[in-house]
């Protein structure tokens, strides 16, 4: 029989073999108990009693061990729980053996101490073989934690609690073969100078710079998964020396929800340094709405649209329709959803939102109950250069989809908007504000239209984090437009949860926004990323300020002067009141008609004039509130744009 065949046979009969091994060892333990009782010389008078009770001792032990499932355990993963089950099984076996021996012999010629010795030896033998195998496996496969580790990465663990022990185990498994853990640091006074699994606690967090220098630490692993984001940020800024790698042990909920890849230790991302805890909202109202209904997502292949599709698929809709013009990303999303939710019927549709005919055909074919509109041209500089495309996609495309939804009786239509729609200072923001007006004007006739505003999304296509990472990988410089510039940031899952919650709780005409905490300085994010990459800002990687581009703001806003943000009763989800004060529905219809005509004629100047006219009344701010924009406002941006193309004198207002 070959080695492979033998291995397969053993695996196929491993439970039977486990029972046989328990029986054999049980017999040896029982005989050994008699031998020990009589100091190695078994009297002839005792031998008949031994032989008479031996089968019962073996049978009782095997039955008790089987009842406690000791034959099912993996020895290489033996734990304290296994030891407790062994104690329980051995104690029960000893009690039953005592009863049987009493019934057979009345303890005549049977030493009672044999039962105690058999109990003790059983625990030592059966427990010892399990932990001996685990000890042999770990000492054979794991590196020894000493100060000398050759070429392995010398690592320091921050946090000497349970998470720190988990990190130590992970670094000592196959995943951490190239790591040598030199020590722990922890701020708990009682843990100072303690030894944990052979690794010393070398000091407190404030001692990290000295420990790194003294022991040549190349990487720091933070094992404080429940620590607030601000604590992690403070540690990085105050105690992590330049040139030292940085990783973090994920919290258990992150692993359970599948938000992390299948690796126990991961690189720190900017998601961990937002300065606030992640936002989590109650999913039940969303599930109650989506389950068993038909849902359509436009712009489904984008970073936001694809996450909306994934989360909706998990809520088991009756049918999920995915609409996009990007063929390959849509193909990839469709295949991903086939694995994620194979039982959810879905249809991938290549269609153009700029075509009113195509949108009507899609909606009439599938007649969805709920629609999520995530199709948007979002890059500010590009939309400044191509305003007709911005208008056609973000305004006319929105109207095409919204009208098609209303005609087939969609119950709710949710528009994805942006903070750049507030007091817009660029073409992209102006088109998105006009899109909000369009859907608000269509509200009614059985369809509730609402919008959701949020700030920049970390990890989305074209966001600053991927750009910074690429620039760092190329050796720099990292480019920031202005050192003063701040933005609100949120993660993709947060943004999508907000969108779905708005769809579940919103009424027709509502505009929602999320309390995203304090804005983050872009230059601080750049410095953090450089430092977390093991490099030094200004030394290894330069940060260059390139200047504010036309249409950019120093700070973004989530609500305009006339708008009032009110709580919804849902944590960190707010509703905007009075967001229609500056426009009339009839005027918006006329504006979109004018824009459509300008797009058809290729008349960029006419489109820009109409766009400015639509959003200009909303440019007012409180008398005592300074304009928190760049040095270039929307009127000047559009005026320059017109002048550069048609060379007319004067101002946009006079034009």
Q: What is the pLDDT of residue 36?
A: 84
Q: What is the pLDDT of residue 144?
A: 42
Q: What is the pLDDT of residue 12?
A: 57
Q: Can you state the percent helix, strand and coil of the chain, rounding each to 5?
A: 50, 15, 35
- Alpha-carbon distance of 225 to 244, in angstroms, equals 20
**Euclidean distance between the first and final Cα of the chain, in Å?**
94
Contacts of 599 (CB under 8 A, 6+ apart): 388, 391, 392, 396, 607
Residue length, the chain? 655
- Alpha-carbon distance of 649 to 655, in angstroms, equals 9
* Nearest in space to 211 (alpha carbons), one of 188, 242, 185: 185
Q: What is the pLDDT of residue 87?
A: 85
Q: What is the mean pLDDT of each run of 10 residues along the chain (655 residues)?
A: 57 65 81 83 81 86 79 54 79 88 82 86 75 57 45 85 82 65 90 86 90 88 74 73 70 41 45 58 82 94 90 92 94 93 94 95 96 89 90 94 95 90 86 91 89 76 77 87 83 81 84 78 84 74 86 74 74 74 75 92 90 73 43 52 42 35
- Alpha-carbon distance of 7 to 10, in angstroms, equals 5
Pair type for strands 511-514 and 448-453: parallel
- Alpha-carbon distance of 429 to 552, in angstroms, equals 10
**Half-sphere exposure at residue 600, Cβ-oriented, CA atoms within 13 angstroms:** 8
The answer to whether 630 and 548 have CB atoms below 8 angstroms apart is yes
Looking at 2.40.160.10, 3.40.50.2300, 3.30.565.10, 3.40.50.720, the CATH number of the domain 284-455+490-516+557-577 comes to 3.40.50.720
Helix 634-646 crosses helix 427-442 at what angle (to 10 degrees)?
110
Number of neighbouring beta carbons within 10 Å of residue 233: 16
What DSSP letter does each residue of 534-549 carry, written as one string? T--BTTTB-EEE--PP
- Alpha-carbon distance of 418 to 457, in angstroms, equals 10
* Nearest in space to 362 (alpha carbons), one of 458, 297, 281: 297
The stretches of 291-396 forming alpha helices (DSSP H) are 303-313, 327-340, 356-366, 380-385, 387-391
Helix (H, G, I), strand (E, B) or coil at 374: coil
CA-based torsion, 411, 415, 421, 427: positive or negative: negative
- The ranges assigned to domains in the chain are 3-141, 153-268, 284-455+490-516+557-577, 585-646
What DSSP letter does each residue of 28-94 carry, written as one string? HHHHHHHHHHTTT---TTTHHHHHHHHHHHHHHHHHHHHHTTGGGS-GGG--HHHHHHHHHHHHHHH
Q: Which helix (H) or strand (E) holds 514?
A: strand 511-514
Burial class of residue 32 in the structure, from the number of CB atoms within 10 Å of its CB (0-12 exposed, 13-18 middle, 19+ buried): middle
Measured between alpha carbons, how far is residue 430 from residues 128, 519, 593, 614 in Å?
73, 22, 16, 9
Q: What is the pLDDT of residue 34?
A: 84
Number of helices and strands (H, E) in the chain? 23, 22
- Alpha-carbon distance of 97 to 112, in angstroms, equals 11
Phi-psi category of residue 237: left, alpha or beta, with phi > 0 → left and psi -120 to 50 → alpha: alpha
The answer to whether 266 and 248 have CB atoms below 8 angstroms apart is yes
Q: Does the fold of domain 284-455+490-516+557-577 match that of domain 153-268?
A: yes
CATH class of the domain comprising 153-268? alpha beta
- Alpha-carbon distance of 420 to 363, in angstroms, equals 29
Number of neighbouring beta carbons within 10 Å of residue 650: 10
Q: What is the pLDDT of residue 622?
A: 43
CA-based torsion, 239, 242, 245, 248: positive or negative: positive
Number of neighbouring beta carbons within 10 Å of residue 256: 9
Cis check for the bond before 293: say yes or no (omega within 30 of 0). no
Helix (H, G, I), strand (E, B) or coil at 151: coil
* Nearest in space to 147 (alpha carbons), one of 207, 205, 200, 191: 200
* Nearest in space to 268 (alpha carbons), one of 235, 300, 299: 235
Burial class of residue 347 in the structure, from the number of CB atoms within 10 Å of its CB (0-12 exposed, 13-18 middle, 19+ buried): middle
Number of neighbouring beta carbons within 10 Å of residue 228: 12
Residue 182, phi then psi, degrees to nearest 5: -90, -35
Encode 2-21: b = buried (16+ Cβ within 10 Å), e = exposed.
eeeeeeeeeeeeeeeebeee
Q: What is the pLDDT of residue 632?
A: 44
Q: What is the pLDDT of residue 401?
A: 96
């Amino acid at each position: 029989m070959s080695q492979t065949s033998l291995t397969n046979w053993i695996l196929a009969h491993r439970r039977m073999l486990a029972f046989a091994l328990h029986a054999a060892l049980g017999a040896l333990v029982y005989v050994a108990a008699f031998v020990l009782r009589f100091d190695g010389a078994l009297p002839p008078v005792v031998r008949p009693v031994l032989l008479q009770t031996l089968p019962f001792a073996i049978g009782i032990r095997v039955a008790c061990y089987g009842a406690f499932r000791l034959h099912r355990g993996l020895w290489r993963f033996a734990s304290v729980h296994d030891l407790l089950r062994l104690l329980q099984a051995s104690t029960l076996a000893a009690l039953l053996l005592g009863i049987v021996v009493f019934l057979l012999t009345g303890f005549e010629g049977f030493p009672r101490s044999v039962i105690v010795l058999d109990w003790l030896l059983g625990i030592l033998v059966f427990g010892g073989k399990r932990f001996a195998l685990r000890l042999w496996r770990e000492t054979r496969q794991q590196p020894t934690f000493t100060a000398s580790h050759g070429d392995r990465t010398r690592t320091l663990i921050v946090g000497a609690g349970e998470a720190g022990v988990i990190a130590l185990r992970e670094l000592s498994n196959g995943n951490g073969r190239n790591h040598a853990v030199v020590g722990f640091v922890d701020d708990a006074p009682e843990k100072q100078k303690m030894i944990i699994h052979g690794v010393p606690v070398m000091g407190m967090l404030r001692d990290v710079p000295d420990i790194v220098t003294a022991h040549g630490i190349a990487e720091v692993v933070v094992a404080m998964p429940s620590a607030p984001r601000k604590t992690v940020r403070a540690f990085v800024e105050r105690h992590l020396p330049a040139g030292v790698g940085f990783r973090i042990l994920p919290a258990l909920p992150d692993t359970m929800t599948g938000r992390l890849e299948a690796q126990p230790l991961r690189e720190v991302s900017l998601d961990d340094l937002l300065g606030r805890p992640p936002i989590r909202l109650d999913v039940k109202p969303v599930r109650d709405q989506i389950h068993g209904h038909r849902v359509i997502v436009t712009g489904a292949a984008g970073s936001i649209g694809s996450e909306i599709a994934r989360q909706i698929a998990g809520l088991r809709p009756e049918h999920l329709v995915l609409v996009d013009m990007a063929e390959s990303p849509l193909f990839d999303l469709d295949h991903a959803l086939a694995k994620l939710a194979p039982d959810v019927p879905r249809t991938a549709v290549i269609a153009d939102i700029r075509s009113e005919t195509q949108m009507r055909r899609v909606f009439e074919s599938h007649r969805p109950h709920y629609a999520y509109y995530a199709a948007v041209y979002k890059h500010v500089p590009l939309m400044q250069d191509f305003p007709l495309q911005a208008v056609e996609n973000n305004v006319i495309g929105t109207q095409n989809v919204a009208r098609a939804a209303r005609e087939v009786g969609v119950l709710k239509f949710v528009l994805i908007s942006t903070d750049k729609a507030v007091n817009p200072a660029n073409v992209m923001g102006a088109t998105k504000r006009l899109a909000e007006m369009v859907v608000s004007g269509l509200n009614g006739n059985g369809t509730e239209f609402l919008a959701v505003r949020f700030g920049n999304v970390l990890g989305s296509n074209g966001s600053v984090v991927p750009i910074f990472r690429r620039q760092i990988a190329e050796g720099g410089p990292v480019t920031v437009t202005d050192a003063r510039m701040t933005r609100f940031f949120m993660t993709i899952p947060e943004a999508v949860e907000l969108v779905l919650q708005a769809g579940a709780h919103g009424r027709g005409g509502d505009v929602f926004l999320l309390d995203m905490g304090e804005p983050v300085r872009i230059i601080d994010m750049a410095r953090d990323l450089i430092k977390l990459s093991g490099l030094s800002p200004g030394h290894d990687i330069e940060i260059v300020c390139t200047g504010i581009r036309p249409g950019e703001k120093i700070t973004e806003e989530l609500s305009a002067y006339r708008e009032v943000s009110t709580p919804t009763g849902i944590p960190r989800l707010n509703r905007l009141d009075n967001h229609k004060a500056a426009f009339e529905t009839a005027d918006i219809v006329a504006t979109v008609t004018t824009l459509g005509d300008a797009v058809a004629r290729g008349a960029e100047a006419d489109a820009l004039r109409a766009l400015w006219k639509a959003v200009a009344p909303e440019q007012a701010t409180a008398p005592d509130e300074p304009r928190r924009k760049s040095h270039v406002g929307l009127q000047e941006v559009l005026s320059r744009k017109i002048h550069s193309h048609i060379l007319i004198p004067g101002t946009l207002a006079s034009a």
